[in-house]
Amino acid sequence: MLIWVPAAITLFVTQHWIAGLVLTLWGIFVVGTVDNIIKPILIGEKAQIHPLMSFLTILGGIFTMGLPGLIVAPYLLSLALTFLHIYKLEYKSILDR
């Protein structure tokens, strides 16, 4: 919304009506669906992972594994963060020194 709304307004102001309408519809239906429905399913709101970290992880997954990386990378990130959390709990006394 941060990008497509000002871009659509600019298109409407410069009298590019069809392009502005297409961009508005794209933003509402495609971008809105991804942001509000698909992203919470893939990443999960309870995971408490920063969106930038998720974004970089997904990009890295796509670059290294292709399309399967889109699905696999967030799970690998969650697994790595879980391992770090368990490690911190197990070795708390050593880490506090």
Q: What is the pTM of this model?
A: 0.51
Type of residue numbered 68? P
DSSP 35-95: IIIIHHHHH-STT---HHHHHHHHHHHHHHHSTHHHHHHHHHHHHHHHHHHHHHHHTHHHH
**Distance (Å, whole) CA 5 – CA 25:** 11
Per-residue model confidence as pLDDT tens digits over 15-53? 999 999 999 998 888 877 776 666 666 666 666 777 788
Instruction: Please give the single-letter amino acid code of residue 93.
Output: S
pLDDT over threshold 80, residue 72? yes
Quick one: tokens of 15? 């009298």
Distance CA 63, CA 83 (A): 24
Q: Does the pLDDT of residue 12 top 70, yes or no?
A: yes
CB-facing half-sphere around the CA of 37: CA atoms within 13 A: 7
